[in-house]
Structure 1
Amino acid sequence: MLILAKESFSSKSNNASFNDSKIICFSSIRLFIDKTPQIVRTYLYLFLLSYLYRKYERNARMTQIEIKKYHINNLNFTVRIAGLENNGDLVVLLHGFPESSLMWEPLMKILAEKGYRVVAPNQRGYSSGARPKGFENYTMKLLASDVVTLAEKVGFKNKFHLVGHDIGAVVGWTTATLYPNLLKSWTADWPAYLWALDNDPTQKEKGSYVHLFQHKFILRFRHYRALRKLWQCFPQYNINAYLNTRGAS
């Protein structure tokens, strides 16, 4: 009880000292305001308002995601961008299947607010203007070339960070292999997935759809029913956007 009483008394004393400090601080500010000429106070208020507005405008602009078209390797890619006016490193995000760059929007906002410049393309075959016919137009070398050319298109000459998910990780590993001098970092979940695909029966079952979806007629059956089932927990907006990358919205 004695210890508790001492702790309580000490806490009250600390709180009292803190409150006294606040009173002194506020009193000093009030005295400064009262002694300052009106014209000076007006300028100070305007400066403060201007600073707060610029800060708000900058944050709002940084978190805004734009969708632009970039002509890359004789194809037109749909690309989401955020924070390109920042001074930080460039981060390129590669989506998986059966998704699009929309999947990266929450992360793009976070990275842009941290000062990074962020781009996320709808990759070859997903962008409506980048769907050449023929399997030969979808080699990993071409997809990797799309990535580094996009980095150049947004005006980035230095090394950049690359992040890949699912099939985007396959493209990313190829990019890291062919253009190691252009990457500052490379992040992917693919090695863990490959291990699980070889050793985990549950993952084998869940990953079996990849072989099934190589047959376009099965994929398109009943207006992409299989894909809709995969996306059943997603918001309708996301589902419509993903289907739009297949010309099926």
Structure 2
Amino acid sequence: MSRHFYHRRNAGKFNYVNRWVKYVLSVTNFLFVMIGSIFLVFGIIAFVESGIITQKSKICILHWIFNITVIVIIVGFITVLVSATGFIGSLRENQCLLKFYYISLAMLFVCETIIGILFFIYRETAINHAEEIVKKTFVTQYREVGFEDSTNFMDFLQKELQCCGPRSYTDWTANRYFSCNDSYVSPEACGVPFSCCRRMNNINVGIPCSIFSIHALIFLARRRKGWDAALHGRLARKRE
């Protein structure tokens, strides 16, 4: 028996369709629809639970674009849209949907190719811009309310890549919790996140490695002088 069949669409017109291509394309796109739906649902749930919508303070547009949950939602939506047209178009042999599917795949391929070529040509400039974007978004978002996903993502990158900051550990001065600026005094001022630290057997877990830096030692020394003065003052008043 032949593996091909003819399906009558309109009067006097027959379409030659390969049965295996049809069902393989349908099943493949159906799987991508399911995967994209999972990304989309979890992205929306994470975005709602992050509390960004209810925040009264203004959020920079870069924070929206490079927010992890927003990226997941966009990727999930595009995956569902393109895969759904491919699934329905191949299953129902709809030429309009199939044309949209093929054009979408071609556009994605062309965009990826252009981005790859531009990145190869302007590699240094692209890396510098990427580092600056990461510093302005993920570093400043670190530990802020509504950006827990960005915080976890940054910790994951630093642990896996064994790095500290986009360029160096000094990039963390852009974060208000680790900044050395006296306008906002933090116990972790002049320090870095725990994900920058290397695990050592002779050091207890939870002690930030940044406290051994020179700036952090100066900060702790100043704080300790203040605590000692306050403690001595209390003891003197009790003795009186």
TM-score band w.r.t. shorter chain: under 0.3
Which structure is higher in helix share?
2
With structure 2 as the length reference, what TM-score do the two structures score?
0.22
Q: TM-score, length-normalised on structure 1?
A: 0.21
Q: More strand per residue: 1 or 2?
A: 1
Bigger RCO (CA 8 Å, 6+ sep): 1
